[in-house]
Amino acid sequence: MKILAINPGSTSTKIGVFHDEELVMHNTIRHTPETLSHFSDAMEQFAYRRQLVIDTLSEEHIPFDFDVIVGRGGLLKPIEAGVYEINEKLLSETRNAVYRHACNLGSLIAADLASSLPHCHALIADPGVVDELEDIARINGCPLMPRFTIWHALNQRAIARRFAKEHNQHYEDLNLIVCHLGGGISMAAHKKGRAIDVNNALTGEGPFTPERSGALPALPLVDLCFSGEYTREQIIKYVTSGSGMMAHLGTNDVPTVLKRIEKGDKKAKLVLDAMIYQIAKDVGSLSTVLYGKVDAILFTGGVANSTYITDQLKERVSFIAPVYIYPGEDELTALAMNALSAMRGEQEIKVYR
């Protein structure tokens, strides 16, 4: 089974080619802010990123003869976890998604490339809108704004299954708190194979992140929106990509902040420590969702490469449960293995309705 996996992110497009379980090619294409500044939003980058995928495969001498192309799923309506065939309804709703994030391009590029090949399937797997919340977790103080999820479902579920396999257990038998630490931060309570509570990592919940605001006080935010100084689009961009460390320190790059701390920058240390503090506080909150019965706490994502951060997190939360660190993410492999499993009939290929 020849599989092409495509994972578009805010600042990169990752491509993986697999022959069954074997990774035969991996490439991360970085997109500079200067390059992306020519596009008004991520959705306008479709043709640019699609061509980069084609060019990269050609440069790597990879024949364009895939059995399945699987893309990172976009910000659709809430759906259950699993693998989905990309159909016209899914594509239409992706093109018209309210949140125009780069991840939306995954299904669009996958479907477009697969359409040029005979008998090639186009799939998505565990998109960021996977919704397994318990009903009690949907309620907040404002019925006009019920809670919904946007999170790193693909990587979180893959890491949870990896942990279970490493410990000769089944994901469906464990209670885990999994935290994806990246440009966005998602934190979930996984109860016996379902993420029953998770923050919305894009629209303003949870801790602040390298570039996102996290939870904000409601009344000052209302005042900001009605100040007349900002448009709706400017506020959204600020909250989702211009806040957090970026707003405080002028950068969303954790290694850069760590170098500033090493040189004695006290403000940089305070801001980064505050982010760590908020992450730890939310881990504590999620432990109550599981009644304190937590088998392990897992930290993953690019930010988990920093021992400065993970050591502090361990110090704050290890009293709850053992802590395990899985730096980085392997979403390409997760995409490919989900696709392979589905094509082999080991899991259902679902229909998006």
pLDDT of residue 258: 98
Domain that holds residue 321: 153-327
CB 164 within 8 A of CB 170: yes
Number of residues assigned to the chain: 353
CB 2 within 8 A of CB 66: yes
pLDDT of residue 333: 96
Residues 158 and 307 in one domain: yes
Residues 339 and 193 in one domain: no
How many domains is the chain partitioned into structurally?
Answer: 2
Is 91 inside a domain boundary?
yes
Is 46 inside a domain boundary?
yes
CB 51 within 8 A of CB 318: no
Helix (H) or strand (E) segment spanning residue 337: helix 331-343
Mean pLDDT per 10-residue section of the chain, whose length is 353 residues: 94 95 96 87 95 97 97 94 97 92 95 97 97 96 92 95 97 98 96 97 94 96 97 93 95 95 98 98 98 98 96 98 94 96 96 96
The DSSP secondary-structure symbol of 240 reads H
| 29, 32, 35, 40: CA torsion to nearest 10 | 100
Residues 319 and 338 in one domain: no
- Residue 36 vs residues 45, 46, 48, 98, 130: alpha-carbon distances, Å: 8, 12, 10, 20, 28
Is 21 inside a domain boundary?
yes
Residues 98 and 208 in one domain: no
- pTM tops 0.85, yes or no: yes
> Is 13 in a helix, a strand, or coil?
strand
pLDDT of residue 37: 86
Which CATH number belongs to the domain containing residue 12 in this structure? 3.30.420.40
Give the 3-state secondary structure of 286-323: HHHHCCCCCCEEEEEEHHHHCHHHHHHHHHHHCCCCCE
Residues 169 and 47 in one domain: no
Residues 79 and 198 in one domain: no
Residues 51 and 199 in one domain: no
Residue 227 has a CB neighbour count (10 Å cut-off) of 9
Is 134 inside a domain boundary?
no
Residues 183 and 72 in one domain: no
| Dist CA 322 CA 96 (whole Å) | 43
Residues 323 and 336 in one domain: no
Residues 173 and 322 in one domain: yes
Residues 294 and 344 in one domain: no
Residues 259 and 338 in one domain: no
pLDDT of residue 265: 98
Is 137 inside a domain boundary?
no
Is 143 inside a domain boundary?
no
Structure tokens at 45: 């980058």
